[in-house]
Amino acid sequence: MLVAEPISAEKALEWGLINYAVPDDEVLDKAIELAQKISLGAPLSIKYSKRTAYETMSESCLYPSHGWDVVEKYEKITRGSEDAHEGSSAFAEKRKPIWKGR
């Protein structure tokens, strides 16, 4: 990475830069599998995780504190949400959560 040389998918996986390396003919199936897993999560958490990634992707490399500010901003929103309380309750009651996106 630091010397701008290409690396193989296998090497990227080994280094922890990616989570999966699949053959070309399995990419769509893997993407659908991941989308299904993501869809089970709390909508607000997913929404703000995506926003955090988007907002910090370019600037946080130059200004790391900006990334932490973004994380803190969205964490405050999600931590006080109905879904956060539902997640804790569902865990304590050993049941699947019912997300409302609020």
What is the 3 state secondary structure string of 21-46? CCCHHHHHHHHHHHHHHHHCCCHHHH
User: Which residue's entry shows tokens 């897993």?
Assistant: 37
Long-range Cβ contact pairs of 12-15 (< 8 A, separation 24 or more): none
Please give the pLDDT value at position 64.
67
Cα–Cα distance measured from residue 41 to residue 50, given in angstroms and rounded to the nearest whole number:
13
**Nearest Cα residue to 84 out of 55, 39, 92:** 92
Predicted confidence (pLDDT) per residue in 20-70, tens digit: 999 999 999 999 999 999 999 899 899 988 888 888 876 656 666 777 888
DSSP, res 10: H
Chain-centre distance for alpha carbon 63: 21
pTM: 0.67
Average pLDDT over residues 83-94: 92
